[in-house]
Amino acid sequence: MRAFKNPAIEDISLEHIFHALSDPVRLEIVRQLAQLGEASCNAVDCGRPKSSMSHHFRILRDAGLVRTRSEGVQHMNSLRRDELDRRFPGLMKAVLAALRANP
């Protein structure tokens, strides 16, 4: 099983975060991960094909929003909330509040 490349927090940029959050499917993934804490790709599939979800998780991971780790044959995903809060104070709080207000 391959290891995932999770960017260092200092390499994360707002441009990449905003690009990743510009898609409704990725916003839904972020919303679900905020509720679940950690989840497999299958648990957060949004009714999309596996290849499509892999693409969305890669965009979120490359932007630094999501950390992915392998657990057996599953890929477990979680928001990098604490790290993002330190790097961009208030950003994730605002994003998650907007997601709650506009489901």
Residue 6's pLDDT is 84
* pTM: predicted TM-score of the whole model, two decimal places: 0.88
Residue 89's pLDDT is 97
Decide if domain 11-97 falls under CATH 1.20.1560.10: no
Measured between alpha carbons, how far is 10 from 97 in angstroms, rounded to an integer? 24
The low-confidence residues of the chain, meaning pLDDT below 50, are none
Residue 74's pLDDT is 80
Q: For the chain, what are the domain ranges?
A: 11-97
Residue 2's pLDDT is 62
Residue 91's pLDDT is 95
